[in-house]
Structures are given as C-alpha cells and as structure tokens.
Structure 1
C-alpha cells in the first residue's frame, strides 16, 4: 500500500451534502485515498443554506461534492453546467469543481443501469417503483432507457408522482396496496437507518411475495426491512449498497482521475459497510 501524505495545505477536500449525513461515502472514499496514496480527504456535511454551501465549494476550491436527498434538484440552478444524464433527468448527485467552474453529474443513473443489466432483468419486465424524488428520477430514467414500458410510480405526493410518471410514460398510484409486479423498487428513504421509518417495509408483504426481483436503493443498513423480507421470500435482490459502491466509484474517478483496482474497490466497500 502506498504511503498517503499527511494532511497539509496541498490536501484536496471532497465532501457530501445530505439531509441526513451517513458514513458510507466518507468511509468508502477515504479508504480508497488510503489504498491509492492520494492526498485527499472526504467529509460529510448537511446544511440549511444550500446556496451558501455551494458558494463555499466554489470559493474554497473543494474538489468534489456528492449530493443526496433532499438537494438533488434544488442544487441545479446553483451550478455552471449540467452533464448528460443529470440534465436529462433534472437531478444531480455529484459536483466537480474545476477552478471554480461547477459541473453537475448523476452517477446514480449509470449505477442503476449497470445493476439492472447485471441482474439480467428483461426490458419487458413490468415494475412498481416507490418514490418521486431525485433518486426515483434516476431509476425511472434508467428503466425507460432500457426499454421498460409497463410500470407504476408509487408516490403519496400526487403532484411529483404524477409528473414523474407522465414524464416517462408510466402510470401513477398513491399507494402500492393491492398492486404487484415482477420487479419492485424502493427509491424512498423508507428503511433507512436513523430515519422515522427505519423499521418499515417499503412494500406490502403481498407485493414482495409476488415479485421476482426486489431492489432497494437504501444503502444503510445493507439489510433493510425490504431486503430481509425479500431474502425470507427467496427473491432475487439488488441492494442499495451495490448502488452506493458503483455510483461512489464513478464519483471517485471524476474527482481524482484515478481508477482503483478491483481489489481496492472491494476492500473499500467492505470497509464502508462495516461502519
């Protein structure tokens, strides 16, 4: 393992902004900095003043920033440029600072695409997707662009749920009660550690039993109530921890220009999950 330089004036800072900061990103990125010997450090933050926080990234030369709920859409007007899929879905989860020029990316989208492909989910597979925020947009866009044409967006917020469904040509429902599909996906904070619904199932037991594949975007804990129920039912599972690793790895490369080895990524993922 190469020696990581001691923190000093030349150390580059990367960060995250989330409504409820977690440990996964900090541990994953900092472990990779250690394994690759890079002079970087990563710290998680939250804020009640998003414009000031983004101004601080620009003014202080912070190299990169991961963006989580509830800031993925609100951050867009504060940036100088939006790349590719982030522009297409109006959702940013990554900011790269090039000498004061802030560019927004969405690495959630590509991570979801990779995982659906790896799981060999047929594009003809109907789905239920819970959520209508930034992560739900990334998942819905990935599904649509894979060729999925039959799906229902489940969202208690009628305005955002109907808008997301209309944008991609899917149906909307306020509740998943009595609904089933071969693929069910949770893109809400339900089941997230430390949240008000940490022990709540994102879908009714009937929907889990009827599904072939269960996908939960919540990264911590790895074994959410939905993932535990899917395991008990013997269903194929895609976890939020898988999403977190792939999207964070793409962020790491955007920030540093370095592509770690497979062994280094595995080490960092285990380190992050053991928090």
Structure 2
C-alpha cells in the first residue's frame, strides 16, 4: 500500500456491484513503484447518486465505474469524452476541481486486444449482451472492420438498438447460432453471480469457434475460459481487458504512463490477489 499517507494524499476509487481486489492491487502497486502520493480503494454502493456526489464534494481524483452503473451514472456527470459519448457508457470519471468528466477505457482495451491477437476482420462473430461493456465491444468491432456479426440480447429495447447502431443482426436467444469469434459481455460466469458456474455459450458452439473472447474479469478463469482452453481455442480473457483499461485509467488519474515492464508486473500482482 501507499506509504506515508497524509492530508494531501490523492484518493482514487471504484464503484461496482461486486468489487474485486484487482483494481486496488493494480493501482496501488503502480503508485508505490512510481513513488506517487495516491491511494486507491474499491467500493460498492446502495446509492449511486450520493456516491457520485461524494466523489465531487470530497475531491476524489478518479472513480472507476463497473456494472451495473456504466449508464446509470451519466446524468450525474458534467461532460462525456468522445470515447464515452460514442457509446453512451462510462467506466472512468476524472474529477477536476469538482468538474466530473467521463471516459470509456473499456473501448481502448477491446480495440487493443482485437489488434494484438490479430483476429481476422472477415471472421463472423456473436456478441452476447447489450449493456455498457457490450456497447464498447460492438463499437470496437465495427471500428476494427468486422461486419458479419450478431448481437444476442434478451432485452428487446437495448439489443435491437445496439445491433442497428453498428449494422449488425440481433437475436433474442442464442439458439443454434455459430460463429468464428464468440464474445461474452454478460454477467454469465461472474464470481458470486447467479450464473457463476455456467457457460455463456454451449459446448458445441465453443468447439466450432476459433476465438473465444471473455469480458468477465472475475474470476480470471471463468467456465468459458476454462472450457475454451481445454479445447485449444485462442482465448482472450476479461483479466486482460481489465488490465489494459486500468492502465489507461491510471494515466487519466495521474498524468503519467508506466512502461510496459512495470505494467506487466502490476497486472501480475493484481491477478495474484484478485
């Protein structure tokens, strides 16, 4: 943890339905390694409006926003950066003297990983979900050049809206859909959730796919990740998404960027205790 805490220590935080230790360990590791007088703490909340008001009133420098608050918080903020405005979803709030500006570093993380893993844009894909994270994924897919995809979402309002926005198809249920790239942006597989032990796609769908992209970060090895690895699929994990979006948040909060070696050390430290 940050040493020599004092009245001038800068505070950053996160708000999530199910807080994990990842962000706390990641950010505080970098604060210590880079000798920054910052402290990071994860929270959940029963009153989002009051919590955002607290960020503003108490001078909290930065606040990470996770499910299910990514869209709900928007009316409480002063400005949306283009990254958040494009998809109407927020995962990062920066406080400049009481002025709250929102960003979406999830989009940056998704776009980075699609490029890093060199996934062919000719691949067909199925994306499960239509919430804040699914919006970031859909936007990144479209911007990368993917065109043959289906959004699967039970929500009959947000599902079709998201599909129409980016020119993809919408299905209410998975059914017997198959694709070369499968992406889960729902809470299925999330630790302590109602569907923590379930697969977000059928075994057959996973076996017929080439790349599995899991957005759920906790646990790092969701049932989907474990099954896909056992079938020797190319797997992109939610832990990788979380680490990249977290370092972009770190830069927004502090104004400095760690080198890649330090970033990898922080990510490893965070995963070890998440």
Match 2:254 to one of 240, 253, 256: 256
Q: Deviations over 1:114-150 (max 9, x none)?
A: 1001111122211000111000000000001111111
1:147 and 1:267 mapped to 2: Cα distance? Answer: 32
1:53 and 1:84 mapped to 2: Cα distance? Answer: 24
SS in structure 2 at match of 1:209: helix
Match of 2:103 in 1: 105
Match of 2:233 in 1: 235
1:47 and 1:138 mapped to 2: Cα distance? Answer: 24
Match 2:24 to one of 17, 23, 26: 26
2:28 and 2:13 mapped to 1: Cα distance? Answer: 11
2:182 and 2:38 mapped to 1: Cα distance? Answer: 38
> How far 1:199 moved relative to its partner?
0.8
2:233 and 2:170 mapped to 1: Cα distance? Answer: 25
Preserved CA contact (<8 Å) 2:12 2:60: yes
Match of 1:70 in 2: 68
Preserved CA contact (<8 Å) 2:213 2:237: yes
1:72-91 matches, cutoff 5 A: 72-91=70-89
Match of 1:136 in 2: 134
1:174 and 1:203 mapped to 2: Cα distance? Answer: 14
2:36 and 2:143 mapped to 1: Cα distance? Answer: 36
Match of 1:196 in 2: 194
1:271 and 1:195 mapped to 2: Cα distance? Answer: 24
Shift in CA distance, 122/39, structure 1 to aligned 2, threshold 3 Å? same
2:259 and 2:120 mapped to 1: Cα distance? Answer: 30
- Give the TM-score taking structure 2 as reference length: 0.97
Preserved CA contact (<8 Å) 2:18 2:44: yes
Q: Deviations over 1:127-186 (max 9, x none)?
A: 000111000000000001111111111112222211111111111112212110000000
Structure 2 alignment gaps of length 5 or more? none
> How far 1:5 moved relative to its partner?
4.2
Match 2:182 to one of 184, 197, 201: 184
SS in structure 1 at match of 2:121: coil
Match of 1:207 in 2: 205
SS in structure 1 at match of 2:157: helix
Q: Deviations over 1:203-233 (max 9, x none)?
A: 1111101111000011121111001111111
SS in structure 1 at match of 2:193: coil
> How far 1:4 moved relative to its partner?
5.2
Structure 1 alignment gaps of length 5 or more? none
2:169 and 2:68 mapped to 1: Cα distance? Answer: 24
Match 1:158 to one of 156, 170, 175: 156
Match of 1:95 in 2: 93
Moved over 6 A (4+): none
| Cα RMSD, aligned residues only | 1.2
1:149 and 1:95 mapped to 2: Cα distance? Answer: 31
Match 2:221 to one of 207, 220, 223: 223
Preserved CA contact (<8 Å) 1:80 1:101: yes
Match of 1:172 in 2: 170
